Amino acid sequence: MLLVVLEHDRGAMDEAAREALTFGRDLAAQMGAPLHAALIGADDADLVAEAGAFGAEAVYTVVSDVLADFGPEAWGEAAAELIRRLEPGAVLAGGSERGNEIMAQVAARLDLPMVANCIEVQPDSGAGEWTMTRQQWGGSLLEDARLASERPLLTTGLHTMAAEPAPSAVEPVAEAVDIDLDPSLARTVVKDRVVLEAGVTLSTAPVVIGGGRGVGSPEAFAPLEELAAMLGGRVGCSRAVTNNGWRPHSDQVGQTGTRITPEIYIASGISGAIQHWVGAKASKHILAINIDPEANMVVKADWAVIADLHEVIPAIAEEIKRRRA
C-alpha cells in the first residue's frame, strides 16, 4: 500500500494534499499497490469523500483530544503509529510547510530516511533502491537521488504538479483507528490563531505589482500601492527591498518569501535573481519594467517595458483612470 498523509486545516483539504494524492495515484500504480490515505485530527465525511474522488481506496481516520488542532508532534506521532501498524510500502505527503514538517516528525520517530520535495519517483525495481528527482534551492536546482529504505518517506514538490481528481471516483472504505496519544504531545499544539487581514493576500492575489531595489525608497512604493489597489491586487517585493527595511518581509516574493500565482506579475526594478524567480515563475503571465534590457527578469518575461519605473507605473495608473472615466 502507498499511504498518503493528508494535510487539512480544521476540515479544509490543503491543495498540497490534493497534489500528493494525484502524484500518489501514479506512484501506487507503478508500485502495483493500492492507494490509501490517512486523515489525522478529523473524521469528516466530506474529506473522506474528497480523498476518494482523488482515488484513495481506504481512508484511516485518527481523532483524539491532542489532535483537535494542528500540532507537529501530536500529528507526527499519530502518523508514525499508523505507519507502524499498517506497514505501508511507502508514505507520501504534500510539500507544504506542514506536510514537510509532519513527515520530518515521522522520519525522526521511525528513524527512517525522508526525501523532501520530489518531482519524480521510481520505485525499487529489484535493486533494493528507489530513485527520485527532488528540488534543491527552492526549485532552482534539481537533485537525482537514491534512497535505500525499507519504507520510503516522501513529500512532493509544492505546486510542481496540478491536482486532478481520479478519472473515476471511488467510494473509500473509512476506518477509524484508535491510537492512544500521550497528553504531553499537546506541548506543540496551536494555542491561538490571530487573523489580521481577510481578503486577498500576496499568495492569492490575481495581480501582483512587484518592486525591487530599483524603486529606491520606501516612499517610492506609493505609486505601486496605488496601481495594485486599482487592480484589486497586492504589492510584492524582492529581498533587496526587505533587507533595506523598505517593506515588511511578508511582501517578499521568492525562495525565502512567498510563492505567488497571480494572473499577472508586474515586476519593476527587479533584476530577477534565481531566488526571486523561483517565487515568481508560477505566475501565469509576467511583465517586467526595467531600465536594463538584459536583466534576467526582462529576458524571462512575456512582456517588458525598458524604461524608468518611476515614469511608467504612474502612466499606467493614469491610463487606467482615463479608460475607466
Partner 1 sequence: MRILCCVKRVAAPGAKINVTADGLAVDASHLGFATSPHEECGVEEAVRLTERHGGEVTVLTLGPPEAAEQLRYAASVGAHHGVLVATDGSAWDPQRTAAALTEAIRDLEAADGPFDLLVFGNESADSGGFQVGVRVAYALGRPIVNGIKGIEADLETDGGVVRARREIDGGFEVYELPMPAAVGVKEGINLPRYPTMRGRLASKKLEIAELSSEAQPGGQSLVRLHRPRETVTETEILGNGPEAAAAVVDVLADLGVL
Ligand X SMILES: Cc1cc2nc3c(=O)[nH]c(=O)nc-3n(C[C@H](O)[C@H](O)[C@H](O)COP(=O)(O)OP(=O)(O)OC[C@H]3O[C@@H](n4cnc5c(N)ncnc54)[C@H](O)[C@@H]3O)c2cc1C
Site residues (CB under 6 A) for ligand X, limited to 273-292:
273, 275-276, 279, 289-292
Of 77-96, which residues contact partner 1 (CB under 8 A)?
none
Using rule CB under 8 A, residue 156 touches partner 1:
no
Phi-psi region of 154 (alpha: psi -120 to 50; beta: other; left: phi over 0): beta
Helix, coil or strand: residue 254: coil
Helix, coil or strand: residue 262: coil
Q: How far is the CB of 262 from ligand X (least distance, A)?
A: 16
Q: How many CB atoms lie within 10 A of CB 213?
A: 16
User: In this structure, which amino acid lies at residue 196?
Assistant: L
Asked if 116 and 20 touch (Cβ cutoff 8 Å), the reply is no
Stretch that binds partner 1, among 19-27, 30-38, 210-218, 247-255 (CB under 8 A): 247-255
Length of the chain: 325
Cell of residue 186, nine digits: 499537546
Q: How far is the CB of 161 from partner 1 (least distance, A)?
A: 14
Using rule CB under 6 A, residue 252 touches ligand X:
yes
Of 12-51, which residues contact partner 1 (CB under 8 A)?
none
Question: Based on CB atoms, which residue is closest to ligand X, 57 or 308?
Answer: 308
Of 218-247, which residues contact ligand X (CB under 6 A)?
238-241
Of 139-168, which residues contact ligand X (CB under 6 A)?
none
Q: List the one residue from 65, 85, 248, 292 that touches partner 1 (CB under 8 A).
A: 248
Residue 126 binding partner per list partner 1, ligand X, none, with a CB distance cut-off of 5 to 8 Å that depends on partner kind = none
Of 80-119, which residues contact ligand X (CB under 6 A)?
none
Residue 279 binding partner per list partner 1, ligand X, none, with a CB distance cut-off of 5 to 8 Å that depends on partner kind = ligand X
Of 51-70, which residues contact partner 1 (CB under 8 A)?
70
Stretch that binds partner 1, among 12-20, 27-35, 84-92, 142-150 (CB under 8 A): 142-150
Question: Based on CB atoms, which residue is closest to partner 1, 64 or 149?
Answer: 149
What does DSSP say about strands 130-136 and 114-122: parallel, antiparallel, or unpaired? Answer: antiparallel
Q: Give residues with Cβ within 8 angstroms of 323, minimum separation 6.
A: none
Closest CA to 222 of 314, 100, 296, 318: 314
Asked if 31 and 123 touch (Cβ cutoff 8 Å), the reply is yes
Closest CA to 107 of 150, 64, 61: 150
Of 114-143, which residues contact ligand X (CB under 6 A)?
none
Rounded Cα distance, 149 and 259, in Å: 32
Using rule CB under 6 A, residue 270 touches ligand X:
yes
